[in-house]
Amino acid sequence: MKKSFICYIALLLAFIGTGLPSFSQSSDNNYYLIAHRGGVVDSNRAENSLPALKAAIERGYKMVEVDLRLTKDSVLIIHHDMNFKRYFGLDKPVSDITWKEISKLKSNTGGSKVLQFEEALQYCSGKIDVMIDNKISGNDTLLFSKVVALLKKYKLDKAALMIGTSESTDFFTGKIKLSCTRKQLEENMLKPGYSPSHYYLFGNELSRDDVEWARRNNILPVGVVNAWRYRRFANPAAEAEKDAQRLKATGLNHFQIDSEFERFFLP
């Protein structure tokens, strides 16, 4: 009896330690959630860090969004900002620093390091799909061919999504599913070689009509609930919840979200 009681307490403490139940633990949750900014980001986990990626996988996210940038010596890394000031205290542009210098940086949030793009893909392979926010200017087709090759190497290319640039759209079309507004999609439909498999509808203002239109046209619709949108409000969480409920009411089941809002998508 005493042994059973001890086991019960241990299980209870383990459950409490996990916080909210992860999405994968519930068969009632039909949402396909994409972790914005490289995973579960909080006071202990920096954006685009290994701990953030790891937590997204453990929490049951289906996909993680990573921000793609290029170092001075042409190494692909994942990092959101144009410089390293916010997390690493270094106010220098990413494009002005070599990978050797960058690899020595440690974040002020948990001491994590900057990841190379390939390191992130290798870690995600077989565990979680990826969305890429391409922050590299220009249309270096040789470089972008490497991006596609790395996705294929780690078997992440089939499900991959990209938030692209106008400069690189022609290259990536047909290789990675690209984000579009409804207006852009309607324009693309008139172009030779159009395929709904090349694009997805993406936005925070999607209506039920937009979602139903996308599905009639075999286009994936993805809603957005991201923290940047709510910074100007006195109660950001309340505004985010309004958007989450409004978007869910459209019939959407794919969402890119900041992890601080995941509670709005639990069953």
pLDDT for 5 beyond 90: no
Q: In b/e form, how buried is each residue of 75-104, taking b as 16+ CB within 10 angstroms? A: bbbbbbbebbeebbeeeeebeebebeebee
Which DSSP category does 185 fall into?
H
pLDDT for 133 beyond 80: yes
Better pLDDT: 6 or 142: 142
3-state SS string for 46-86: CCCCHHHHHHHHHHCCCEEEEEEEECCCCCEEECCCCEEHH
- Residues 207, 159: Cα–Cα separation, whole Å: 24
pLDDT tens for each residue of 46-81: 999 999 999 999 999 999 999 999 999 999 999 999
pLDDT for 14 beyond 60: no
pLDDT for 82 beyond 90: yes
pLDDT at 159: 97
pLDDT tens for each residue of 217-243: 999 999 999 999 999 999 999 999 999
pLDDT at 23: 52
Extended strands (E) in the chain: 32-35, 63-70, 76-78, 83-84, 90-93, 115-116, 129-134, 161-163, 177-180, 199-203, 220-225, 254-257
pLDDT tens for each residue of 18-54: 444 455 544 456 899 999 999 999 999 999 999 999 9
Bridge partners (DSSP) of residue 70 are: 76
pLDDT tens for each residue of 176-221: 999 999 999 999 999 999 999 999 999 999 999 999 999 999 999 9
